[in-house]
């Protein structure tokens, strides 16, 4: 009887900590006093949100990147292999887990969505059955506290969103590490990437309102296919990856456009890029595409930043404050130019030089051939090869303007470096 009373008092103290402590760290300390072992709170990207005092002394399972702490990749691999992650998502209750260490795991849920989990490490004393009950209570207490602190209030309830949010708000310095972590979600990281952003103002009077956001994201993921998403700054954001340079082809664009129209939504799309190191620039490209189209009263559901590059430059030139995000100039170079550079490197050709010389010679074939010291027939072979490779017409003034602007950006970048 006394044992039951003691357990009841501990549970009461845990629930009461919502009022007496009113902080994650305070609740953690009370939980650690009762469980007598190190406690970790993690989100679904294996990022460690908080640690109890004992847990702060144990760094054997932790690695740090950009000031953030994460579980070691080999531990994640082991947890996946042993179905531990599946158990966390599929169970409402705490359970024991035995590997090299003995642990207790329990999901933290908000409206039946797993937003994180508790990990208790058997470090000071052996576990007993009572510890599972206390961990279950601790999970419910953290669910309430996390909502109070709004830590997950913008969360869509999709596992991978923490990865993308991490990419957007934390500076990346290790692509290999990041690529390795992305393997643990259902996302293939191909060579070609874009950011697609959709403004979506959500009212969070009740966390259950998130159901609509969650369903909206799920529908879009079905359309966009290989992507990860997040909800950040009143915007639904997708990182989309594809083997092909045309990340959003005509068929996909048609389906996306229909969905956006039906739901009265607009999206901004960045230029195609390859390196995740530059993701913040390309995210802001998608946002500027939306803002500039609105300013110019262009009522498109789909807005490509590549159509607004010059207007972005005009906008920055006219800005009288320093509060606008300045995109790295080299990320404004059109994908067509990048494609030519890559093709030349792989095939030891001179398409980039040929096109640049052609534009510098006022689009005169004779002068271009003479300057390159090649026959006219060789020039026209290269000319047609460029059109075929880029799938564009070099007789289109708008296309030529985009190319010339990119060449000028590259020239300017070279000049300021010398």
How many Å apart are CA 36 and CA 52, to the nearest integer? 11
287 and 170 part of one domain: yes
For residues 263 and 314, state if they share a domain: yes
Nearest to 26 by CA among 133, 129, 141: 141
172/263 same-domain check = yes
CA–CA distance, 200 with 222 (Å, rounded to integer)? 18
Check whether residue 23 and residue 170 sit in a common domain: no
Mean pLDDT by 10 residues, the chain (418 residues): 79 88 89 93 83 86 76 79 85 88 88 81 91 94 80 51 76 71 78 94 55 77 90 91 88 91 92 90 96 93 94 87 83 90 93 95 94 94 94 90 92 83
Tokens of 384: 């047609």
Q: Which residue intervals of 225-330 are DSSP H helices?
A: 250-262, 279-295, 309-318
Pairwise CA distance, residues 62 & 190, whole Å: 28
Distance CA 313, CA 292 (A): 11
156 in a structural domain: no
User: In this structure, are 103 and 66 located in the same domain?
Assistant: yes
- Integer Cα distance of 188 and 3 in angstroms: 52
pLDDT of residue 131: 93
DSSP state of 39: E
The answer on 310 and 188 residing in a single domain is: yes
Sign of CA dihedral 367, 368, 369, 374: positive
Residue ranges making up the domain that contains 107: 2-148
Domain count, the chain: 3
> Two tokens at 139?
């999970």
Domain boundary among 115, 148, 181: 148
pLDDT at position 207, please?
43
Please give the pLDDT value at position 181: 73
Domain boundary among 124, 148, 172: 148
Strand order in the sheet with 267-269: 227-231, 235-242, 192-199, 267-269, 302-304
Looking at the domain assignment, is residue 237 inside a domain?
yes
Q: Is residue 155 part of a domain?
A: no
Same domain, 32 and 120: yes
Find the CATH number of the domain harbouring 112: 3.30.450.40
One domain, residues 99 and 224: no
CA distance 312 to 6: 65
Is residue 211 one of the residues assigned to a domain? yes
Q: Are residues 210 and 172 in the same domain?
A: yes
Does any domain span residue 154? Answer: no
Characterise 110 by phi-psi region: left (phi > 0), alpha (psi -120 to 50), beta (else). beta
Q: Report if residue 244 sits inside a domain.
A: yes
Q: Which of 125, 118, 132, 114 is nearest to 24 (CA)?
A: 118
Q: Is residue 153 part of a domain?
A: no
pLDDT at 335: 84
Report yes or no: 287 and 235 within 8 Å, Cβ to Cβ. yes
Q: Taking the chain, what is the end-to-end CA distance rounded to the nearest angstrom? A: 82
CATH number at residue 264: 3.30.70.270
Instruction: Write out the two tokens for 400.
Output: 């030529």
Q: Which residues pair with 199 in a beta bridge?
A: 235
Residue 169 shares a structural domain with residue 317: yes
Tokens, residue 13: 């103290």
Q: Two tokens at 283?
A: 């995210």
- 3-state secondary structure (DSSP) of residue 412: helix
Domain co-membership, 121 together with 173: no
CA dihedral 408, 414, 416, 418 (to 10 degrees): -150
| Those residues with Cβ within 8 angstroms of residue 6's Cβ, 6 or more apart along the chain or in another chain | none
pLDDT score of 384: 95
Decide if 137 is inside a domain: yes
Those residues whose C-beta lies under 8 Å from the C-beta of residue 140, and which sit 6 or more positions away, are: 15
* Phi, psi of 114, rounded to the nearest 5 degrees: -75, 115
Last residue of a domain, one of 148, 171, 191: 148
Contact assessment for residue 47 and residue 164, using Cβ atoms and an 8 Å cutoff: no
Same-domain pairing of 317 and 339:
no
For the record, the structure tokens of 405 come out as 């602007």
């Amino acid at each position: 009887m006394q044992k039951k009373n003691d357990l009841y008092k501990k549970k009461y103290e845990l629930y009461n900590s919502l009022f007496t402590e009113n902080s994650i760290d305070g609740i953690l300390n009370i939980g650690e006093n009762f469980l007598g072992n190190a406690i970790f709170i993690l989100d679904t990207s294996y990022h460690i949100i908080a640690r109890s005092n004992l847990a702060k002394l144990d760094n054997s399972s932790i690695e740090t990147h950009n000031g953030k702490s994460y579980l070691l990749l080999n531990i994640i691999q082991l947890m996946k292999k042993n179905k531990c992650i599946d158990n966390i998502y599929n169970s409402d209750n705490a359970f024991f887990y035995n590997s090299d260490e003995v642990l207790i795991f329990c999901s933290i849920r908000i409206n039946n969505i797993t937003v994180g989990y508790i990990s208790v490490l058997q470090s000071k004393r052996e576990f007993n059955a009572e510890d599972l009950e206390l961990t279950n209570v601790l999970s419910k207490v953290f669910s309430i506290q996390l909502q109070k602190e709004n830590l997950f209030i913008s969360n869509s309830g999709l596992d991978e969103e923490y990865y993308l949010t991490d990419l957007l708000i934390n500076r990346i310095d290790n692509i290999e590490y990041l690529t390795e972590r992305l393997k643990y979600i259902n996302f293939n990281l191909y060579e070609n990437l874009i950011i697609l952003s959709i403004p979506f103002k959500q009212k969070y009077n009740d966390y259950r309102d998130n159901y609509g956001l969650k369903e909206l994201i799920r529908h879009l993921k079905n359309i966009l296919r290989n992507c990860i998403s997040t909800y950040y700054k009143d915007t639904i954001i997708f990182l989309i990856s594809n083997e092909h340079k045309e990340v959003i082809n005509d068929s996909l664009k048609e389906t996306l456009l229909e969905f956006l129209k039906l739901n009265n939504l607009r999206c901004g799309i960045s230029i195609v890029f390859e390196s995740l190191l530059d993701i913040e620039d390309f995210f802001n490209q998608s946002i500027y595409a939306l803002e500039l189209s609105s300013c110019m009263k262009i009522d498109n559901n789909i807005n490509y930043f590549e159509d607004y590059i010059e207007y972005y430059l005009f906008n920055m030139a006219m800005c009288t404050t320093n509060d606008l995000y300045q995109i790295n100039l080299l990320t404004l170079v059109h994908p067509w130019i990048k494609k030519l550079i890559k093709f030349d490197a792989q095939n030891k050709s001179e398409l980039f030089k040929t096109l640049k010389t052609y534009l510098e010679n006022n689009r005169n074939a004779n002068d271009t051939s003479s300057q390159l010291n090649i026959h006219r027939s060789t020039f026209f072979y290269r000319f047609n090869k460029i059109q075929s490779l880029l799938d564009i017409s070099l007789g289109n003034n708008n296309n030529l303007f985009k190319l010339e602007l990119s060449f000028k950006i590259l020239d300017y970048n070279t000049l300021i470096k010398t």
